[in-house]
Amino acid sequence: MARARTPAARPPSGRTSRPKPKTVTLPTSLSPRTLRERQTILGVLDCIVDMLGAMVGDHIEVVLHDLTRPESSILRIANGHVTGRRVGGAVLSGPRNDKGLAVLGDAMLMAGMPGHVPVFPYPTEARDGRALTSATVLFRDSSGQAFASLCLNADYGQIEGARALLARLLPREPVRLEPVPVEAPEMEGLMREIIEASVRSHGKPMARLSKDEKTAAVETMLERGLFIVKGGVEKAAAALGVTRFTIYNYLDAIKARRRVEVTSGP
């Protein structure tokens, strides 16, 4: 989802007799207290999406995501014509170069740390090539687990002057517009696109990547949200020609390095 504020990111299980590497996952079962807390926060956010969409103007999309179900994460969306999305869309179907996904990757690695994480503004790109400006707030529960995000995606391309800008910012009745028929890629295609782009940046075939280059490719996949989707670890492993446990080891190495960077400071 220009670098703004810099706050500080599930892999599937497999069968083996070897001990699994230590990884950070979103909990599959929640305490009643945590469940109530999440439902309360989501309920509050849900009821402000349409209000924000009406007040900021129809050039700004407002999206509420439930990150615990990434394949159909969009719970509520206003002005969905900006990206052509609707309720039930996948978290990976949003704008390209979404820094919000990188923040989510960090939050998964740093699970247990308190506080919500705002990041804004930053440039993104619609899937039809339009330049967008985006903002994201990542919400954690009291245990430090990331579970929801509220995102804004603004298309300023049609604003031609001060008069038009002021007219669009004045309060008005909510306008319900059908999404522009921009087809969102299926989940398989989105995941394949992330993996291929992460490897292509090294300029050589997958079979010739060194360990450091594979680790860097996995870090790029993490930042683009691949590992919050079921099956992401397996697909990355198959593409790189390694085992799931090698991917886990790469993720552990990335986590260890980032923790050193966070604790040592600039």
**Interval 125-149: pLDDT, tens:** 999 999 999 999 999 999 999 999 9
- Note if the pTM is more than 0.85: no
**Edge-to-edge strand order for the sheet containing 131-140?**
74-78, 60-66, 146-154, 131-140, 117-125
**Interval 71-130: pLDDT, tens:** 999 999 999 999 999 999 999 999 998 988 888 877 776 667 778 999 989 999 999 999
Within 89-133, where are the H helices? 99-109
**Interval 146-185: pLDDT, tens:** 999 999 999 988 875 666 667 767 777 776 766 655 555 6
> Contact, 75 vs 63, CB < 8 A?
no
SS3 track for 9-32: CCCCCCCCCCCCCCCCCCCCCCCH
**Interval 61-74: pLDDT, tens:** 999 999 999 999 99
What is the average pLDDT score of the chain? 83
76 DSSP assignment: E
- Sketch out the chain's domains with CATH numbers: 32-183 (3.30.450), 191-264 (no CATH)
Residue 58 pLDDT > 90: yes
State the first-to-last Cα distance of the chain, in angstroms, to the nearest integer. Answer: 25
Residue 240 pLDDT > 80: yes
Name residues whose C-beta falls within 8 Å of residue 86's C-beta, 6 or more positions apart in sequence: 74, 77, 80, 179
Residue carrying the six token digits 């060194």: 210
